[in-house]
Each structure stands twice: as C-alpha cells, then as structure tokens.
Structure 1
Amino acid sequence: MAKTTQATRFLDKAGISYTVQTYDYDPNAFKVGLQAASAIGEPASRVLKTLMAEVDGKPVCAVIPSNEEASMKKLAAIFNGKHAHMLTPHDAERLTGYHVGGISPFGQRKRVPVAFEEQALGEPYVVMNGGGRGLQVKLLPADAIKALSAITASVIA
C-alpha cells in the first residue's frame, strides 16, 4: 500500500507532524472505524471517522470518534443551518476524491467546512484516515484542527 496520499501530502505541506499506521482493511466490516481501531490496537474513542454531510444543501465534514454517531441536528446548528443529512457514498466519493472506507478530512478534492468533535481534544493523540483504505495517520488533535481550520463543537448524538 502506498503511504503517500493526497492526505499525507496535505499534512506535509501544512507542516503537521504525523506518523502513518497501516492495517488490513476489511471491506465487509459493519463499521469501518471500529474495525480500524481494533486492527491497530487503539481505543475507538481515539480513532476518528470522517463523515460527509450536507447542511441546507452545502457540503460539510464531521470528524468524530469511531464509536459515536453524529447528531444531524447539532451538525446543522454548528453551521447555522436548519437541516443536515449524510451524503450518499457516491456523492461523498465525488466530493472528496477518496473511496468510502478511505475518506480523509485532509486533502479533499473540494475543501469544505469541518466540525471536529470537542471530546477528542481530551485525547493525547488521535488517529484519522490517511486517504486510503487501511491507512491511518496519528497526530495531535490540535494539529488536526489547525490543518483543517475546523470548528470544535459537540457533534455527537
């Protein structure tokens, strides 16, 4: 597996320090984030998943712990909207340039506003998708927020 992706190039360009971790991606896993956490031996609360949604018709990204679910009501409020819903896998792939199971918030084809779950700030480090199935990047939560120009808020249900 290539360890250089659009996401890692994005982090390099931003001057963000990170390490790469790989694992055997299971395309049949019920929850990809939980499978990743188990495969790399990290708590699910520290392994963050990338969710692509729309708020009042505009694309947004939510980064939350892999063992949690996003609140669409909270997501809409964070971005001053009324309605939020998840993008279809096809639309998420088209927007980000990544395949489902390998969607990273870093280096997406089109940059969109990002909401970063504030609970993750309590972790010493976080692990996020590095732009490929079975590829994760480990970095400081503050560095991820800085690189993404993310809003920190309570996103989980």
Structure 2
Amino acid sequence: MSKKHAETGKATPAIAQLEKAGINFRIAQYEHDADHMDDGYGIEAAEKLGVSAAQVCKTLMVDTGEKRVVGIVPVNGRLNMKAIAAAVGAKKASMTSPEVAQRESGYVVGGISPFGQKTHHETVLDTSVMQFDEILVSGGKRGLDVVLNPQDIVTLLNATVADIAA
C-alpha cells in the first residue's frame, strides 16, 4: 500500500526506512503555508488533511542530561517532561534546542520524523494514539506525513508506549 517516493519528489530517509522495513504506510501531502504557523505545524496538517488532531503526532526531542530521547505525542497536546523522563528511567528532561534537534535528526523543525533520523534515539510513543488504527507522523519534510498503524512505530523503532502527553 506504500506510495513510492516518485509522488513526493524524492524519498526522504523516513520513507526509505519504512519501505526497507516493509511497513504498510501511505503518504499524505499538503501545501505547507508559513502564514499558518501561529497554530503549529501539526495543527496545520490536521486541518489541511481533514483528520483529528488526536491522530496527528509531533515528534519532539528532549535531553535527560544523560541521553537524548524522542517523544511522539498528538499535536493537540503537549509533551509532559516529567512523564517522558520517568518513561526512560531519568530524573528530568528538557526540550533540546531546534538546532540540536535538526542536527541530530537530519530534518528541519516542522518536518522531524521519528524514522530515518541521522542519530537513532530511544523513542517513546504516547499511549493515547494506540487506540487508533492509523496515525500520522512527519515523513521527513514540512507538508509530508506518513499514515501508519501506531504499532508499526513501536515495532520498527523499538519504542516504549507510555502516558507522556500533558
């Protein structure tokens, strides 16, 4: 069911990783509008793609002081720093700077995908998205999302599932 990268212009590392792993996914594209940024990239995606914001996820990177961790939460919520720290056995967590997130993921802010990152980090997926058959995460650039079963994220990235959304 995967749509090949010819439709996206070129394969992002995220799409390449999903295809290589044989994950069943599809691509959802929309025209990114820089004037829409007051609401955030994920809310823009939900509105333009006509899906619930609870099913569109943002990929965030935090620093626990010992390691960096990727958190995946619905765009209509926030990442709970204490909860993600606890999920990975750390005492605390804080957001990394956009520059660090971009450097370590290889993606621009607003297009950071949990897949195909330059540096693989431990990943935690919020429990709330497990109720859905399909969720959307960034496909590696603004305006490009991948639609897949949340269990595939857990399997492919060896992600932990925990209550990390505030």
Q: Into which bin does the TM-score normalised by the smaller protein fall?
A: over 0.9
Normalising by structure 1, we get a TM-score of: 0.96
Specify the alignment match of 2:164 in structure 1. Answer: 155
**Deviation of 1:25 (Å):** 1.1
Q: Which residue of 2 aligns with 1:2?
A: 9
2:133 to 124, 132, 138: 124
Q: Counterpart of 1:8 in structure 2: which amino acid?
A: I
Aligned AA (1:85):
S
Amino acid at match of 2:81: M
CA RMSD of aligned residues (A): 1.0
1:113 aligns with 2:105: no
The whole-number CA distance in structure 2 between the counterparts of 1:3 and 1:129 is 15
Query: 140, 144, 149: which is aligned to 2:149?
Result: 140
- Partner of residue 14 from structure 1, selected from 4, 8, 21: 21
Q: Check the 8 A contact 1:55/1:75 in 2, yes or no.
A: no
What is the CA distance between 1:3 and its match in structure 2? 4.8
Alignment of 1:1-157 (within 5 A): 1-28=8-35, 29-30=37-38, 31-157=40-166
Separation of aligned partners in 1, 2:65 and 2:110: 25
Q: Secondary structure at the match of 1:114?
A: strand
> 1:6 corresponds to which letter in structure 2?
P
Specify the code of the residue in structure 2 equivalent to 1:25. Answer: H
d(CA) in 2 for partners of 1:116 and 1:17?
Answer: 18
Identity of aligned residues (%): 37
How many residue pairs match? The answer is: 157
- The residue type paired with residue 11 of structure 2 is T
The one-letter code sitting in structure 1 at the alignment partner of 2:26 is T
SS at match of 2:34: coil
Counterpart amino acid of residue 16 in structure 1: I
Q: TM-score, normalised by structure 2?
A: 0.91
Q: Secondary structure at the match of 1:105?
A: coil
Contact 1:125 1:141 (8 Å CA) reproduced: yes
Segments of structure 2 that go 5 or more residues without pairing to the other structure are 1-7
CA distance in 2 between partners of 1:107 and 1:136 (Å): 14
Which stretch shifts more, 79-88 or 49-58?
49-58
Instruction: Provide the secondary structure at the position in 1 that maps to 2:84.
Output: helix
Shift of 1:63: 0.4
Look up the SS of the partner of 2:69 in the other structure: strand
The alignment partner of 1:121 has SS state of helix
